[in-house]
């Protein structure tokens, strides 16, 4: 037998023995802390079976040579194995497993009908397996076995086993002290939910933390940096290159001096905002105000002594000129050094400047992103109003009114759901181009006022659950169809309307394809499209990109927290929800 097959057998036996051993420990704990009425005979039988399985697994694993094919580190070696096969290989393997499973179920079936159903399923899997075998033979499927071991220390393995046993003991103890009232199950369920929330919340936490990081913390040899640190900066009035503030097109800009003319005029180069870098201005000296620069603190070891100073000038050859601040005995001294020999002085903190810098990189005509926000809010509000109004009216008509061809029209409406968006994309574009609406927001929100087939179907089902007596009572009171719809029917379907509003809000806020097709100018772009363009422009600066992404998702995140009840309950409520 080849070393690969032996390694796979030993690995399977080791893991089966480990899980069987843990199950045996769990059964022992159940016997010790069992509640009154527990079947002790059944527990002891399961304990004996688990113990024998664990012993057999460890015996097979111990007698199998584990040869991973390469050198491994010291410690206990945990074996791992994986089989690589193309699709047809996995299809054949799955067919064999399912055929065996269905045959066992047929043998253990309690009735003839159940036995026949299991045999039919086995036959279907047999046909699928034969077809897959032909495909495997035609494509020349070859299985490749990957083997390896993970060396772990004895202390780590012992700690893991101890935590597993402690967790099982806590679960069994909780079940005993709650006398089977389901509290232990609730504790386990909520613990799993907390752990799942933590795991799935890690990407969001990484997003937010990265938005406050400096560039040097984006990649680290020690892994992800979860605690951001910021460079300490101090104000400094540079006599050679002062930082001047002036106004340009109604905006505050920071500039540096390019030239001082003999007539007293200054030729300035804009430094901030970043979107205006390279623009030159001409100002009088009384039109500018000098402000201090924020320069970084650095440290260096000199003659066995650590000195700290501020970088007062970046030299043309790449070196830095540093003025010493500490120790006090050398305060005021100046030295020059290469950047690699200087260590930045940092502290734990958040680089909030990433957010302002990200907004400053946006085109000036977007007014620091406010134009994007205005366009997005316009699309969202009109889309939500149009979707709710049109879908509710059409759904009410299909659920309550009687007119010729109602069922046929409803089926035609539902059939439009089977049309892919790519099919209607070009005709829709040509229609809006014929109306001269390209490079406007009209093509993005106008379709919302023509109802959605799925929303109409959802609201129609809600309307149909409302008793006719409510509508009849409204008619007796003299209500018209419109008043009955507005004052009687709509309040009864608030959960469905809330869910549709939330879905529409999220879809309109994250809509990227629509603006990509119809919008060309920056002043008409929504946030989703602007974020994509920002990624293409500043994708090499993760801090700025994550800051922009965080700002773009905050409204949707706030919507979820305020409306999560409708996410969870809305579509399950009846038309009389809340009554």
How does DSSP assign 296-313, residue by residue?
A: EEEEEEETTEEEEEEEEE
Paired sense of beta strands 334-337 and 320-326, if any: antiparallel
The pLDDT assigned to 574 comes to: 40
The two structure tokens encoding residue 413: 């409406």
Q: C-alpha angle 315/229/274, rounded to 5°? A: 50
Residue 102: strand, helix, or coil = helix
What pLDDT, on the 0 to 100 scale, is given for residue 35? 65
Structure confidence at residue 575 (pLDDT): 40
Rounded CA separation 96/102 (Å): 10
**pTM: predicted TM-score of the whole model, two decimal places:** 0.62
Domains and CATH numbers, the chain: 3-185 (no CATH), 186-228 (no CATH), 232-348 (no CATH), 364-572 (1.10.3720.10)
Report yes or no: 552 and 401 within 8 Å, Cβ to Cβ. no
Q: What is the pLDDT of residue 456?
A: 92
Q: Which two tokens stand for residue 172?
A: 């069994």
In the chain, the N- to C-terminal Cα span, in Å, equals: 71
Burial of 51 per CB tally in 10 Å (0-12, 13-18, 19+): middle
Residues 245, 289: contact at Cβ < 8 Å? yes
Nearest to 173 by CA among 26, 361, 9: 26
Q: Is 61 exposed, middle or buried (0-12, 13-18, 19+ CB in 10 A)?
A: buried
Label each residue of 398-418 as H, E or C: HHHCCCCCHHHHHHHHHHHHH
CA distance 138 to 130: 12
Query: Which contiguous run of DSSP H or E holds residue 144?
Result: strand 144-152
The kind and range of the H/E element at 266 are strand 265-272
SS3 291: strand
* Cα 483 to chain centroid, rounded: 44
Predicted local confidence at residue 139, as pLDDT: 76
Identify the pLDDT of residue 382. 94
Contact 9, 60 (CB under 8 A): yes
Residues sharing a CB contact under 8 Å with residue 455, sequence separation 6 or more, in sequence order:
387, 391, 395, 500
- Quick check: bond before 25 cis, omega within 30? no
Q: Compute φ and ψ for 530, nearest 5 degrees.
A: -65, -35
Q: Which residue has the tokens 């580190």?
A: 73
Contact 11, 81 (CB under 8 A): yes
Q: Which helix (H) or strand (E) holds 77?
A: strand 76-84
pLDDT of residue 75: 63
pLDDT of residue 576: 40
**Mean pLDDT per 10-residue segment, the chain (579 residues):** 76 88 87 71 84 89 72 69 78 88 83 87 90 82 73 81 84 64 65 82 88 84 79 88 87 87 86 83 87 90 88 88 88 89 89 88 82 91 93 90 87 88 88 91 92 90 86 84 84 85 88 88 86 82 89 83 67 43
The C-alpha R_g of the chain, in whole angstroms, comes to 35
pLDDT at 182: 55
Q: Before 9, cis peptide (omega within 30)? A: no
Distance CA 165, CA 159 (A): 10
Q: What integer pLDDT is reported at residue 222 of this predicted model? A: 66
Distance CA 130, CA 92 (A): 8
432-467 residues labelled b (16+ CB within 10 A) or e (exposed): beeeeeeebbebbbbbbeebbbebbbbbbbbbeebe
Tokens representing residue 262 in the block? 């003999």
CA distances from 171 to 25, 30, 42, 85, 450 (A): 13, 10, 19, 40, 55
Say what angle helices 87-107 and 112-139 make with each other, to 10 degrees: 160
Between the CA of residue 211 and those of 190, 215, 555, what are the distances in Å?
A: 31, 10, 17
Q: Residue 510: name the closest of 356, 327, 333, 379 by CA.
A: 379
The CA distance from 46 to 24, in Å, is 8
């Amino acid at each position: 037998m080849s070393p690969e097959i032996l390694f796979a057998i030993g690995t399977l036996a080791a893991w089966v023995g480990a899980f069987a051993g843990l199950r045996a420990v769990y059964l022992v704990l159940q016997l010790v802390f069992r509640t009154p009425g527990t079947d002790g005979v059944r527990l002891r039988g399961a304990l004996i079976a688990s113990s024998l399985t664990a012993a057999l697994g460890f015996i097979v694993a111990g007698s199998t040579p584990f040869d991973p094919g390469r050198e491994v580190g010291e410690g206990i070696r945990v074996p791992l194995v994986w089989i690589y096969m193309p699709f047809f290989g996995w299809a054949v393997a799955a067919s064999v497993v399912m055929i065996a499973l269905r045959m066992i179920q047929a043998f253990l079936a309690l009735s003839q009908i159940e036995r026949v159903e299991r045999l039919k399923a086995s036959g279907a899997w047999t046909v699928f397996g034969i077809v897959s075998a032909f495909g495997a033979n035609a494509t020349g499927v070859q299985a490749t076995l990957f083997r390896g071991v993970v060396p772990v220390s004895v202390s780590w393995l012992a700690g893991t086993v101890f935590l597993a046993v402690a967790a099982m003991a806590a679960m069994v103890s909780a079940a005993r002290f709650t006398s089977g009232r389901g509290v232990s199950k609730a504790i386990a369920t909520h613990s799993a939910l907390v752990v799942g929330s933590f795991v799935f919340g890690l990407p969001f936490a990484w997003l937010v933390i990265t938005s406050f990081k400096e560039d040097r913390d984006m990649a680290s040899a020690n892994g992800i940096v979860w605690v951001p640190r910021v460079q300490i900066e101090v104000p400094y009035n540079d006599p050679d290159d002062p930082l001047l503030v002036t106004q340009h097109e109604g905006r505050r800009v920071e500039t540096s001096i390019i030239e001082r003319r003999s007539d007293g005029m200054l030729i300035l180069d804009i430094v901030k905002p970043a979107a205006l870098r390279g623009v030159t201005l001409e100002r009088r000296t009384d039109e500018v105000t000098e402000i201090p620069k924020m320069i970084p603190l650095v440290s260096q070891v000199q003659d066995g002594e650590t000195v700290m100073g501020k970088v007062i000038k970046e030299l043309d050859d790449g070196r830095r000129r540093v003025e010493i601040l500490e120790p006090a005995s050398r305060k005021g001294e100046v030295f020059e050094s290469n950047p690699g020999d200087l260590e930045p002085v940092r502290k734990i903190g958040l680089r909030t400047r990433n957010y302002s810098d990200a907004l400053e990189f946006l085109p000036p005509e977007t007014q620091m992103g406010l134009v994007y926000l205005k366009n997005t809010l316009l699309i969202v509000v009109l889309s939500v109003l149009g979707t709710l109004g049109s879908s509710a009216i059409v759904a009410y008509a299909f659920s309550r009114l009687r007119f010729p061809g109602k069922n046929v029209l409803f089926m035609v409406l539902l059939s439009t759901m089977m049309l892919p968006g790519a099919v209607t994309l070009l005709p829709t574009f040509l229609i809006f181009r014929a109306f001269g609406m390209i490079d406007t927001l009209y093509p993005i929100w106008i379709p919302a006022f023509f109802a959605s087939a799925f929303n109409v179907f959802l609201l129609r089902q809600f309307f149909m659950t409302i008793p006719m007596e409510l509508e009849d009572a409204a008619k007796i009171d003299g209500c018209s169809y419109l008043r009955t719809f507005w004052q009687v029917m709509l309040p009864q379907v608030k959960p469905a309307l809330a869910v549709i509003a939330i879905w529409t809000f999220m879809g309109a806020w994250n809509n990227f394809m629509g603006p990509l097709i119809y919008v060309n100018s920056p002043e008409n772009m929504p946030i989703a499209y602007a974020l994509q363009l920002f990624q293409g422009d500043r994708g090499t600066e993760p801090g700025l990109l994550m800051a922009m992404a965080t700002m773009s998702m905050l409204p949707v995140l706030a919507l979820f927290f305020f409306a999560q009840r409708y996410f969870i309950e809305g579509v399950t409520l009846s038309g009389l929800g809340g009554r």
